[in-house]
Amino acid sequence: MAMGCALLAVYLATMAPGFTWANGGADGGDLIAAAATGGVAHPTGYPVYLLIASPFQAMRVGTLAFRTNLLSGLGMTGAAVLVFAIVKQALRALDSWPRIVAAAVSALAFGLSPLAWSQAVITEVHGLQLLLVALLIYLVISWRDGSRVQAAAIGLVQGLAMGNHVLSVLMAPAVFLRVSWRPTGDTGASFPSWKNRRWDWRSFGSLAAGTLVGLSSYLILPIRAASHPAVNWGDPVTLDRFLWLVSGRLYQDYLVPLQGTVVSQHLREWAGMTLEQFGLAGLVLAVLGATIFFSASPVYFLTVWSAVIFTAFALPYDVADWWVYLLPAYLSFSIWIGIGLGEFVRLASTRAAWAPAAIGAVCIAYLGLRTCANWSQVDVSHDVAAERFGRAIMAAAPAGALLFAQGDRAVFTLWYFEYALHERPDLVIIANDLLPFDWYRANLKHTYPELSIPTSTDLPWAASIRDANPGRPVCYPYDQNVALNCR
């Protein structure tokens, strides 16, 4: 499809050539290294992402990081193509030309929105997540005949989406309700009231079975951990450690629903961010599509659910990149834009035959102007800050040094260079923030058998490890000014 090719071309032109910290992409070093070493990424493990990233890394084009970045670009492109298909399905009562215009504008509005675009050009899980969420919506709104095979397929995508990002579980209640609580009579395109429905245990069973198959992807985490890879978050070989990892227990304290100051601050930021994604014209179309042209249908049920539930999760989440969790909500916004535009084109076409073409041209011109305006904001094609930092540290570190790194940017960059690119295997990379965890200290010992690690200590762990290895230089990398302080 020309629209998808054009969108992918934009992503490739603005994609990071290597590992980058830009667009909130510091986690990329961990994901790349975990995929490259057969390891386990940070909570919640992301098994589906790691499985799919591996064949991308095996390609022979560009750097290892660039090949992993490609997964994000292709995932986001696929999500945009599915937005096109969803809008066409939602507007199936319209003539062909208004449907195509509305669907294309909707897909491009989503794919070229600054937030989606920013995640399509770096290594992150969100491009693949949005592809799976969009596929889930498309399959559910296309399901009408009660086929158990289709229900199982929907369940499989639901499970895989949760295996890529555990927050996709937020879609499960709407998906199970829509598929399992079926109309008692007509199963066509209508969306009967809840009173005219019954619970279909066969569809529920097929859906649940498919979901469990998709969720079985999490079983690769203890299998990978058993080989003691260098990147092995949680070392999930026991039930307690497995649950610690996949539940994201490390980050649960950041979810603060009772702290009104966090929610109010994020609400203010959300208002400006939503306007920034689609512009005033796009926001007006989305409001029209979600209200004036609202109809009781599966597409509305799923998109309203997605918009509300992901926004409700993101607003109280007190982390620096809380805004990325709004992406599924913005996918719903883009679908509403298409519905609103489609109905507007339909009304205009009754007055003038040339109206759809004219409106389509205006919309494409508008999107082109917004693309030019947003280009510099998300373009990371020349960003080398993270690569420069990593190479400087690798070049400056004394032989056999202990590198005590602090913070995601420094730690994940050094993991990328040593574990994924196999540079400077003589160095010992130690993440200060992880030293309190026994699983991390045990994995350090497996990764660096020659390293002496005390079994207990009354001192800070960093000081104890330093004192236990007196023959090694000790260095502290600082990512703010590419400095390496050694003693």
pLDDT per residue over 44-76, tens digit each?
Answer: 999 999 999 999 999 989 999 999 999 999 999
- The verdict on 197 and 329 lying in the same domain is yes
Question: Per the structure block, which two tokens stand in for 147?
Answer: 């086929």
Q: How confident is the model at residue 295 (pLDDT cuts 50, 70, 90)?
A: confident
- Predicted pLDDT of residue 130: 98
* Sheet with strand 483-486: strands edge to edge: 428-431, 402-405, 474-478, 483-486
- The verdict on 160 and 219 lying in the same domain is yes
Name the residue with higher pLDDT: 358 or 415: 415
Instruction: Fill in the DSSP letter of residue 419.
Output: I
- Mean pLDDT confidence for 204-225: 96
Which residues are paired to 208 by β-bridges?
none
- The verdict on 143 and 206 lying in the same domain is yes
Q: Produce one character per residue of 320-355: b if its CB has 16 or more CB atoms within 10 Å, e if not.
A: eebbbbbbbbbbbbbbbbbbbbbbbbbebbeeeeeb
- The verdict on 406 and 356 lying in the same domain is no
- The verdict on 138 and 65 lying in the same domain is yes
- Predicted pLDDT of residue 324: 94
- The verdict on 299 and 441 lying in the same domain is no
**Cα gap 125→120, rounded to integer Å:** 10
- The verdict on 445 and 307 lying in the same domain is no
Structural domain harbouring 345: 2-378
Least confident segment among 154-158, 164-168, 360-364, 394-398: 360-364
User: Does position 343 have pLDDT exceeding 70, yes or no?
Assistant: yes
- Predicted pLDDT of residue 131: 98
- Mean pLDDT confidence for 427-441: 95
Average pLDDT, the chain: 90
Q: Measured between alpha carbons, how far is residue 117 from residues 124, 195, 259, 328, 387 in Å?
A: 12, 42, 31, 13, 22
Least confident segment among 198-207, 316-325, 355-364: 355-364
- The verdict on 88 and 203 lying in the same domain is yes
> What is the number of domains present in the chain?
2
- Predicted pLDDT of residue 188: 46
Among 359, 378, 397, give the residue marking a domain's end: 378
- The verdict on 65 and 110 lying in the same domain is yes
Residue pair 473/398 in contact (Cβ under 8 Å)? The answer is yes
- The verdict on 389 and 362 lying in the same domain is no
- Mean pLDDT confidence for 347-363: 77
DSSP reduced 3-state for 294: coil
Among 378, 400, 417, give the residue marking a domain's end: 378
Among 338, 357, 378, give the residue marking a domain's end: 378
Using CA of residue 442, residue 440, residue 58, residue 167, what is the dihedral sign? Answer: positive
- The verdict on 397 and 464 lying in the same domain is yes
Give pLDDT tens digits for 114-154: 999 999 999 999 999 999 999 999 999 988 767 888 999 99
pTM of the entire predicted model: 0.93
Give pLDDT tens digits for 162-187: 999 999 999 999 999 988 887 765 54
Which residues are paired to 402 by β-bridges?
428, 474
Q: How confident is the model at residue 196 (pLDDT cuts 50, 70, 90)?
A: low
- The verdict on 356 and 426 lying in the same domain is no
User: Does position 189 have pLDDT exceeding 50, yes or no?
Assistant: no
Give pLDDT tens digits for 412-428: 999 999 999 999 999 99
Long-range CB contacts (within 8 A, 24+) of 284-288:
284/340, 285/336, 285/337, 285/340, 285/341, 285/344, 286/333, 286/334, 286/336, 286/337, 286/340, 287/336, 287/340, 288/336, 288/340, 288/343, 288/344
- Predicted pLDDT of residue 96: 80
**Cα gap 394→407, rounded to integer Å:** 17
Phi, psi of 133 (to 5 degrees): -65, -45
